[in-house]
Chain A
Amino acid sequence: MSLWLAGLALLLVKIGLVLFVVLTGAAYLVLAERKLLARFQLRLGPNRAGPLGIWQPLADALKLLMKEDTVPAGADRPLFLAAPAMSAATAMLIFAVVPFGDSLTIAGRPVPLVVADVSVGLLFVLALSSIGVYGVVLGGWASNSSFSLLGAIRGGAQMISYELPLALSLAPVVMLAGSFSLVDIVSAQAGCPFIVKQPAAFLIFCVSALAESKRLPFDLPEAENELMAGYHTEYSGMRFGLYFVGEYVNMIALGCLVAVFFLGGWRGPLLPPFVWLMLKAALVPLVLIWVRATLPRLRFDQLMHSSWKVLTPLALANILVTGGLMAALG
């Protein structure tokens, strides 16, 4: 019984720490994005709330709290109310399997620095990203607004189309690591990170992940100029805030996944593992922000084509090339 309680306490502490780090990260990612976008456009960005605007995330949250939470007439009320939480929760669940470092020794017992070392962690991540579709689809559908519904349908089609190259690009990683556990994948990269052996898979994964995150140039589901924010047109106040947090948590999650699958995870010289993981994980969100400031939006047919005509065949070919090389080199 005491073992059971200790296990539960450990689990709760780990989850609490992870959620704290991730949510703080997401809050400051919003600030970083606003600052960087402003710089890209020769503006200053938020600089009033505290020095350099460091209290801006807090101010934003307070502002959202003070806004009215409306439900449009004719909407499917329970679904409309629940959908944003779905979007945020799936993004956060990804961190359950991300290893933050090697195991620590506390009171003579090794404590692995991962919430759950699942033997099928990679599939868990893929499953979550496919469940993430529902926050978009159900939220958009429940709003009873034409724009939201269009955004929902587009979002659904886009996310399932890019799910495929996302999964296929990870097959070579599994072939090299011989395991689905994220912990094993990181330890398989002790010699050299997989980005060296799998540059094609890395690129395919990054593009598909960008599309999964529904950000420019793939932000068709929420295209503000034609769909007026798409699936979250009707959301206001804190519920809109939840979608927003979900998007930014998702960006950090993608950063962590790219780091774990291709950049060697927490491995690195000198600095502690956790810092290395965070440094590597910060790369992807920064590139995403840069891309947002640079590229125009794709057209919907171009979006679907680039998944089915380019990325999927490329990913299939990449699996074969990897298999051939592995068989040839023994």
Chain B
Amino acid sequence: MVFTWLNVGILVFLVAGLLFGAGPLLGSLLFAPRMSGGDARMPYECGMTPHGSSWKQFGVNYYVYALLFLAFDVDVLYLFPVAAWYRDSQGWLPFVKIFLFLFILAVGVVYFWRKGVFSWPRRIMQ
């Protein structure tokens, strides 16, 4: 195992963040008034009483975007080390290799575009 200040730094920063979050809340615990009764705790719904829980079903569109993002994200992360090395490379061969990699990605983007993935449907069907 290796000890790095980064690791401690992140932990300390997290603790600082938590303290920073907790401090004002402690203050509000001391100073803020506390009411009870009435409809103070009713979720906001433009003045009406909300109908059931708000945890409902959502369209598949968001899921598709998240999936595309996941795949592209992995791609980007493989691209990054190559980008860091690119300056030390010689000649056109690395460029051709990166071109191939990005070309396949671009084919994906064009395909999804033509398929209509990026056009938000007027009415999301379930």
Contacts and interface: CB of A to CB of B under 8 A. Distances in A.
A88 B44 CA distance: 24
Interface residues of A, number: 80
Contact of B54 (A64, A118, A149): A149
A206 interface: no
B54 A238 contact: no
A148 interface: yes
Contacts of A319: 79, 83, 98, 102
Interface stretch (A102-110, A166-174, A259-267, A280-288): A166-174
Interface of B is mostly: helix
A242 B43 CA distance: 20
A171 B76 contact: yes
Interface of B: 5-6, 8-10, 12-14, 16-18, 20-22, 24-25, 27-29, 31-35, 40-46, 50, 53-56, 58, 62, 65-66, 68-69, 72-73, 76-77, 79-80, 83-88, 91-92, 94-95, 98-99, 102, 105-106, 109, 112-113, 118-120
Contacts of B88: 178
Nearest to A115: B9
Given A93-B17, A233-B44, A319-B98, A161 B73 contact: no
B54 to A, nearest CB: 4
A164 B32 contact: no
B24 A163 contact: no
Interface of A: 7-8, 11-12, 15, 19, 23, 61, 64-75, 84-85, 88-89, 92-93, 96, 115-116, 118, 123, 141, 143-149, 153, 156-157, 160-161, 163-164, 167-168, 171-172, 174-180, 228, 233-234, 237-239, 241-242, 300-301, 304-305, 308-309, 312-313, 316, 319-320, 323-324, 326-327
A212 to B, nearest CB: 13
Nearest to B18: A85
A220 B18 CA distance: 28
Q: Nearest 6 pairs between A and B by C-beta?
A: A89-B17, A85-B21, A301-B120, A178-B87, A145-B43, A238-B28
A68 B32 contact: yes
A320 B86 CA distance: 12
A312 B109 CA distance: 9
Given A88-B17, A147-B44, A160-B66, A304 B95 contact: no
A19 B69 contact: no
